[in-house]
Amino acid sequence: DLAWALQREQQEPRKLSRAAMETLAIIAYHQPATRAEIEDIRGVALSKGTMDVLLETGWVRLRGRRRAPGRPVTYGTTESFLLHFGLEQISDLPGLDELKGAGLFDGRLPKGFGVPQPRDDAALLEDEEPLGDEPLNEAFASDLPEE
């Protein structure tokens, strides 16, 4: 009868999948980034669930829409991302030299490989526009077959 009073609610921390960690790193270093840009950098398609997990954790946010055909949504990191990873600002992310020094990269890097300087300006870039009131899946409505 008293089982409900004696139960403890405990949330288990979930580990991010490798795909989610790669996606998060790409967004952090290349923000603002669209889904297509993330897929191009990773070399594989990005599942909807991966982005949903990152949005639910509060580490990734919708920034705006790219001024390009289809007006894709751009993603960026949040203040929660910085707090969780102990960063004061996004530019505190390690650069290529620091990653090599930590042993995360070996000598087999492609020629001309570089890590971009991370940035997260609150203001939208020239090629971005603010999110409107339209639903986010409106851009995909033209892809659906007519009934």
Query: Taking all residues of the chain, what is their mean pLDDT, rounded to a whole number?
Result: 79
- Residue 109 confidence (pLDDT) above 50: yes
49 vs 146 pLDDT, higher one: 49
Check which CATH number belongs to the domain holding 50 and give it: 1.10.10.10
Spatial distance between the Cα atoms of 140 and 24, rounded to a whole number of angstroms:
23
Digit-coded pLDDT (tens) for 39-93 = 988 889 998 899 999 999 999 999 889 888 888 999 999 999 999 989 888 888 8
What is the rounded distance in angstroms from the CA atom of residue 80 to the CA atom of residue 25?
Answer: 15
Q: Is residue 102 part of a domain?
A: no
Give pLDDT, residue 104. 66
Is 29 contained in some domain? yes
Residue 77's SS3 state is strand
Higher-pLDDT residue of 95 and 16 is 16
Is residue 35 situated within a structural domain? yes
Backbone CA torsion sign across 96, 97, 98, 101: positive
Greater confidence (69 vs 145) lies with 69
Residue 95, pLDDT above cutoff 70: yes
Q: What is the pTM of this model?
A: 0.72
Residue 3 lies inside a defined structural domain of this protein: no
**Which domain covers residue 25, as residue numbers?**
15-88
Of 21, 24, 30, 27, which is closest to residue 116 (Cα–Cα)? 30
Q: For the chain, what is the domain count?
A: 1
pLDDT, residue 27, reads: 92
Compare 145 and 42 and report the one with higher pLDDT. 42
* Residue 6 maps to a domain: no
